[in-house]
Amino acid sequence: MKRLFSLTRMLLLCATAALSACAAPPPPVQLAEAPQDKDVICQREEKLGTLFPKVRCRSAQQIEAERAEAKAFGDAVATHPSLPQEGGK
């Protein structure tokens, strides 16, 4: 009987510890320090597979350069000779 009491007590302690670990507050979100440049744009970005968004700060020039690079890549893929071109040939 004493062994059953200690086993029950141990299970209750483990259950309490497990539940209290789940109830812990989430870690604080640290925001990125933006450069002192006046044309800085900060955006929250959520990556697939995570629940925690990141704040990414970039200058307007960096954003425009990334857009131009993505457009050039898309254009290169669209005009690649191994892909079928519009018109069915």
Q: What is the pLDDT of residues 26-76, one digit of tens each?
A: 666 665 565 565 688 888 888 888 888 889 899 989 999 999 999 999 998
pLDDT at 48: 86
Which residue, 29, 52, 32, is CA-closest to 43?
A: 32
pLDDT at 20 over 70: no
Entry pTM: 0.45
pLDDT at 84 over 80: no
> Which residues are CB-contacts of 57 (< 8 A; sequence separation ≥ 6)?
32, 33, 34, 35, 40, 41, 42, 43
CA gyration radius, the chain: 27
Angle (CA) 68 72 75, round 5°: 135
pLDDT at 12 over 90: no
Q: How far is CA 80 from the centre of its chain?
A: 32
> Which has the higher per-residue pLDDT, 79 or 15?
79
Instruction: Place 21 in a pLDDT band, splitting at 50, 70 and 90.
Output: low
DSSP label at residue 49: T
